Chains A and B, each alone.
Chain A
């Protein structure tokens, strides 16, 4: 049996979430949704705990996690970068912006830098199309960015 590498309190929190939903397999998506909030992602051990609590095969849990784009199995960086790929941002050059993030951070979409500082993702429209192209870093929104701005913004984050 692989060691459960999760910190004890995290495992406990996951179990508590399952209990709160009555360990009902029908609540799987809601449970995963809440569980992802604990660490920002759903590591293997966490999925095994959910499967055991709900009495369903872990392959089912993993199937749901990989089906929905919202769920992720990669640990997010301290600064999660999300580049908007919605129509307005796209036509105003968000792809070039994304390429610049990839180049400077040396990672691809869905990955995290080895130091755990940044992770890179795409999203579809944050409802600020007037500021296109838009990038979100954590909860902060950056608008009307050009590729030249990328390095400065990243450097500003400690």
Chain B
């Protein structure tokens, strides 16, 4: 304890230094970069990323873009890794500093392909932005360039290692944050590349397609697999009926691509834009999220009831299964525990399954003419659509999935002035949702949605308040307990696969305190997904998006999944009841041992 106490005192100690003639006081231990940011001095960075409030961090101090001059020191110092000291005098924009930064950038560019015109990252590339900012107008260095590194197109992620600048952000995220361990630096010198072990393809590795490497890649080395051209062709085909579902997190983020502040809810404009693009019906994944709550909630109640009835063969805790990267993670890393997660399919897949059966039959549309497209904040969803168990005679339930970023690009390409669009409503019946469906996009949301329904179905009482504040927030692991008429239901929430691993290892070793756990692979849940507009290291963007979803939930009349009238209609007309034979067949799945 004394050591910890001492440390706390150290952290609380304030020091004052001077940066570009401004005095600033910061807690001891603060980096020059953070101190400068505090007074509005924006020191350029490249390899560094620190998504504050989450565990996403990469600080190898290897690129040297952020160098500054410190009085009394002979060498320039990297601002990202140099701690402030009392009375330090720092200059961030002297001629020496500016020249050094420019040369560093020029050297990085000397081994970088000149493909900006056709690069998928153009316009959103941190290296390109630096070249612009440093006024680089020619390439003074050439030679040493190696263009033999691996290129790969997976179902979700496109890897073009010629563009890699070795910032190691992807490696940090894949190993330290997600603990997946798919990507690492191999070989040395000009032969270095970032790749899975034994230089295998990502598709042959433990990769979960969470896409967090793509979300942090500053350049075009890691990008999403683009389906926009495929969609344009399908929309132009008069033979096809093309319908779309939009995930909850998309509406809280896509506005950013059109200059709106983070957290601006643009649900109505998004629907209008999708209609403009030519979709025959615009539906909502939130409908399927409500359906997920019904099925997963029923499964949770079934396991709990049997457990409380004395059946000790019941596997608890039940784990959510909405997140396809999380599913990939446990299939690869915890193949001995495949019977613990809920068997409920993800909302995306439930939607596709219902759209291509119940809805298509109602509408008289043959399966082969119906194209189901999803707009997702996620890269793993692209892979999920492609899984064989979600196909009927080779025809997938969801044909393909686009990210939020791809949709934004398509809207721009189709000359749609997004911000000027009127607000429009989703089509019915697959566009109706409750507030419970909306909050699926934020970490804790699935659990909160499930609690609203499980509580009422278990106790037969009406909830006084539907807000479960203690499952919300951004802490990596959160715990809460809910009183179900004398039975204390203990739930856990984890986001980020590294946090999930801790919980799973506890369960594996019999140290479990929970009845149910929600897990999302990405920081903040789907709002921080690998397919979202890039946060460029600003975690406040994630907070704003989560708040937007809770705002939309609060504004809804219906906030409990089991109150969704169209869900009731679906059960009465088609499915019968949750966990019925039809429901098991269409809405549930099984898992595979994918250990390497």
Measured CB to CB, the residues of A under 8 A from B are: 1-2, 44, 47, 56-63, 66-67
Contacts and interface: CB of A to CB of B under 8 A. Distances in A.
A60 B184 contact: yes
Nearest to B205: A59
Given A59-B196, A62-B197, A66-B186, 13 more contacts: A1-B595, A2-B596, A56-B181, A57-B181, A57-B184, A58-B197, A59-B175, A59-B195, A60-B181, A63-B184, A63-B185, A66-B187, A67-B186
Contacts of A1: 595-596
Contacts of B65: none
A44 B198 contact: yes
B183 interface: yes
A54 B62 CA distance: 27
Contacts of B596: 1-2
A59 B595 contact: no
Contacts of A57: 175, 180-182, 184, 197, 206
B42 to A, nearest CB: 34
Nearest to B181: A57
B187 A59 contact: no
A62 B184 contact: yes
Contacts of A58: 181, 197-198
A109 B205 CA distance: 29
Interface string B172-215: 00010000111111111000000111100000011000000000
Main SS at interface, chain A: helix
A62 to B, nearest CB: 4
B197 A61 contact: yes
Q: Output the residue of A44, A47, A60 with the most chain B CB within 10 A.
A: A60
A59 B176 CA distance: 13
The 5 A-B pairs with the shortest beta carbon distances in the complex, nearest first, are A57-B181, A59-B184, A62-B197, A59-B197, A58-B197
A140 to B, nearest CB: 31
Contact of B198 (A56, A60, A62, A67): A62
A62 B186 contact: yes
Contacts of B184: 57, 59-60, 62-63
22 contacts: A1-B595, A1-B596, A44-B198, A56-B181, A57-B181, A57-B182, A58-B197, A58-B198, A59-B175, A59-B183, A59-B186, A59-B196, A59-B197, A59-B205, A60-B181, A61-B197, A62-B186, A62-B197, A66-B186, A66-B188, A67-B187, A67-B188
Contacts of A62: 184, 186, 197-198
Interface of B: 175, 180-188, 195-198, 205-206, 595-596
A61 B184 CA distance: 9
Contacts of A66: 186-188
Q: Output the residue of A1, A44, A47, A57 with the most chain B CB within 10 A.
A: A57
A2 B595 CA distance: 9
A59 to B, nearest CB: 3
Q: Output the residue of A1, A47, A58 with the most chain B CB within 10 A.
A: A58
Contact of A63 (B182, B186, B206): B186
Nearest to A65: B186
Nearest to A1: B595
Nearest to B189: A67
Given A1-B596, A59-B182, A60-B181, A47 B197 contact: yes
A143 to B, nearest CB: 31
Contacts of A56: 181
A56 B181 CA distance: 8
Contacts of A2: 596
Nearest to A60: B184
A41 to B, nearest CB: 14
Contacts of A44: 198
B175 A60 contact: yes
A59 B181 contact: yes
Contacts of A47: 197
A102 B117 CA distance: 45
A2 B205 CA distance: 12
A56 B171 CA distance: 13
A29 to B, nearest CB: 14
A58 B196 CA distance: 9
A47 B596 CA distance: 13
Nearest to B335: A1
A2 B197 CA distance: 14
A43 to B, nearest CB: 10
A67 B205 CA distance: 20
A56 B184 CA distance: 12
A44 B200 CA distance: 12
A44 B196 CA distance: 13
Nearest to B196: A59
A37 B187 CA distance: 21
A44 B180 CA distance: 19
A24 B183 CA distance: 21
A58 B595 CA distance: 13
A72 B197 CA distance: 15
A56 B595 CA distance: 15
A108 B197 CA distance: 24
A67 B184 CA distance: 12
Contacts of A59: 175, 181-184, 186, 195-197, 205
